[in-house]
Amino acid sequence: MKRILSTLLVLVVARAGGARAADVEGRLRVTSRVLWDGNAPRDFSQRGISRDTSDGVFSLLASAEGRYTAERWQLVGRYDGGARVYLGYTQENTLVQAAALEGSHALGESLGLGVEGRAKDRRGGSREYTDLAASAFAEYVPDARLALRLRLGAHRFVYRPDSAANFGSPELGVLARYRLDRRHAFSLTGEYGARRYDSAARLAPAEPPRMTAQRADTALLASVGYTYKGPLTLGLAYTYAENNSNSFGESVHRHRLSATLGMRLPWKLTLLAQGALGLNLYPDGVYLSPEITLLEEDEAQNMLSVRLVRPLNDWLDVELSSAIYGSSRMPTTGLSYFRPVVGVGLTWRP
């Protein structure tokens, strides 16, 4: 099982044209967890109004990735599949799958061209969706310290509970990475998308009823990050995302600070921590669809998670985990979101 991905990649490439003197890498991880979920249905709540929404849950996550590198081209693939099964809130049982594939070809010492695609599908629960994207890119890597990538592609999002949230969009993105030395690195990301929805734009409450144009949003994102790899691993990032819509109540501007930390502790323990704080601003003063904010999963909210991992042997790890997810109180509606999760798990690394 240890080299399943490597073997599959070699067979595929060999059939496609024969592979010689190539490097092949592969990795497989399977993690099972038993959790207590403090907000199983992921409900928003109002101040002073609460109810018991906790439940026990079993989760299973499998991750597989592989890389095939030949003299002038490279193929990289990744697949993640996860399932959650609740004891009481069985309507929240979910299956999530995500896959990404990238192929690139070197045109010379520093220039390369390639294509990439990604897909994510969530089934079950109250927020089923499919997210698809594909793009072509050009990459400039003059040395090991600097890498620049420009991509142009298309994005399609399908939200099954409400087709009004479906959209298609051309996208333009740029990524720059600079490695100061072997320990310090910086990154800069920018993205632009022109989204067209399968619904009409919403009128402001004060406007008289009339026919409106198709909903159209402009999505902008800018992010700057820093990573340190030494006695510990540290990552810091600031992200600004802006969605401007001709549909009333759908525009939002987001500021987000995030950090990751990894470090070795005594007794073969590894500490992994992740945290984020965000500020959402609504130009129209309202937001009518709070459930849409959770489409990127809880990790897109304010959050703090801590994991302690210890190897039991060469192929099995045990972990303790705890996390808190939440959002600031929304204007006008007074709704907020809070979800604590704790659990224990095992990871198999063949």
Question: What CATH number is attached to the domain comprising 291?
Answer: 2.40.160.40
15 lies in some domain: no
Task: Specify the pLDDT at position 14.
Answer: 40
According to the model, what pLDDT value does residue 295 have?
A: 41
* Residue recorded with tokens 């998308």: 193
Q: What is the pLDDT of residue 284?
A: 81
* 327 occurs within a structural domain: yes
Q: Is residue 209 part of a domain?
A: no
Q: pLDDT averaged over the chain? A: 86
pLDDT at 126: 75
Angle at 82 between CA 79 and CA 83, to 5 degrees: 155
Residues 6 or more apart from 265 whose CB is under 8 A from it? 271, 308
Look at residue 20 and tell me if it is in a domain. Answer: no
Domain range for 45 is: 1-7+25-204+214-348
Count of domains observed in the chain = 1
In a domain, 284, yes or no: yes
> What distances in angstroms separate CA 51 from CA 36, 44, 275, 301, one per listed residue?
16, 11, 27, 21
Question: For residue 291, what pLDDT is reported?
Answer: 41
pLDDT at residue 9, rounded to an integer: 41
Residue 119 included in any domain: yes
19 within some domain: no
User: Could you say which residues of the chain have pLDDT below 50?
Assistant: 1-20, 48, 288, 290-296, 299
Residue 333, pLDDT score: 58
Handedness of CA 226, 230, 231, 233 (dihedral sign): positive
Can you tell me the distance from the alpha carbon of 343 to that of 321, in angstroms, rounded to the nearest whole number? 5
pLDDT at position 350 is 86
